[in-house]
Amino acid sequence: MEHQLIETDLVKQALSVAGWDMEQELSGLATETSQFELPRVRIEHKDNGKHRMYIDSGESYLDDQSQEIDVPHNKLSAVVFAEQNIRAFWKEGEEVPACSGIDDMPMGIEPLADSCKRCEHGIMGGKCKPKVRLLLLAEVNGEVKPLIIALSPTSIKHWNAHKKKLQRSNLPVVAVNTTFELEDVKKGTYRWAEVKLGMNGIASKELLIVARTARTEFEALTKRITQSDFADTGDKQPS
């Protein structure tokens, strides 16, 4: 069954006539679904090298509004207010990881080791996939919004290089406008995009205040791993 086109202004009008407060109901819905996902910065890898960076807000019933927003020129400027090293290990053909970890601490009922650093699957080239998960504040369509990005294993080296440059400059990560830009990489028959990082000036005082509040508000997100963190091409083992 196809979704009908929903016009939110008409919905608001109908609720108002019936004595309902739309904003109050939406507020209650947000509380009930507190395990929400932030909009994600994703990369679409293309064989012709014309890769795409976009913001994915997730599915909705608003068929007249695209839930994917292209990042102009494949370059995003944002303030990074939280960072985590995450991992996940899939058994062949499984949709849910058998084990996962945050900052080298395994999660789940039956972790494969007491530490990710001492796990046989976590060695370089092993089956446990490492990623760096970043929480960002960026201006999207004229509005500052929190976003999340999970850097792939091939992009982690660029993130580490960015942090080393900031350290040598005596600058905390949160203090600068970090840039995320796609770089085309081709090796043999494989072609993909890596995310290169740089900086575009110092973050404004206003944005730093928002970032401090955001770090507290989204602390719960940093305590769990979701399937969305590993939904990119190549994240899972082939079935």
Q: Does 193 score more than 80 pLDDT?
A: yes
Q: 206: burial class by Cβ within 10 Å (0-12, 13-18, 19+)?
A: exposed
Task: Report CA 43 to chain centroid distance, whole Å.
Answer: 11
Instruction: Note every long-range contact of 49-58, with CB atoms under 8 Å and residues 24 or more positions apart, other chains counting.
Output: 49/184, 49/186, 49/191, 51/182, 51/184, 51/192, 51/193, 53/180, 53/182, 53/193, 55/140, 55/147
First to last CA, the chain: 31
Q: Out of 32-36, 60-64, 122-126, 196-200, which region has the weakest mean confidence (pLDDT)?
A: 32-36
| Whole-number pLDDT of residue 2 | 44
Mean pLDDT across 117-138: 86
pLDDT band for 237, please (50, 70, 90 cuts): very low
- Reported as a pLDDT band with limits 50, 70 and 90, residue 34 is very low
pLDDT exceeds cutoff 60 at 73: yes
Contact present, 82 and 215 (Cβ < 8 Å): yes
The DSSP call for residue 118 is G
Pick the closest to residue 72 from 179, 167, 165 (CA basis). Answer: 179
pLDDT value at residue 157? 96
Quote the pLDDT of residue 65: 54
Q: What is the pTM of this model?
A: 0.79
Q: Which residues are paired to 78 by β-bridges?
A: 138, 178
Mean pLDDT rounded to a whole number for the chain: 84
Tell which residue, 195, 128, 123, 203, has the closest CA to residue 159.
Answer: 195
Q: Which of 131, 144, 83 is nearest to 236 (CA)?
A: 131
Cβ of 185: how many Cβ atoms within 10 Å?
15
Name which of 211, 160, 188, 204 is nearest 47 in CA terms: 188
**What is the rounded CA–CA span in Å between residue 179 and residue 159?**
11
Q: What confidence category does residue 230 fall into, taking pLDDT thresholds of 50, 70 and 90? A: confident
Length of the chain: 239
The answer, yes or no, to whether residue 57 has pLDDT greater than 90, is no
pLDDT one-digit tens code per residue, 89-125: 888 877 778 888 999 888 877 888 888 888 888 777 7
State both tokens at 139.
């201006």
User: Span 55-79, mean pLDDT?
Assistant: 81
% of residues, the chain, pLDDT over 90:
48
Between 144 and 22, whose confidence is greater? 144
Strands (E) in 141-232, as ranges, are 143-151, 176-187, 190-202
Residue corresponding to tokens 């091409």: 233
Better-predicted residue by pLDDT, 128 or 15: 128
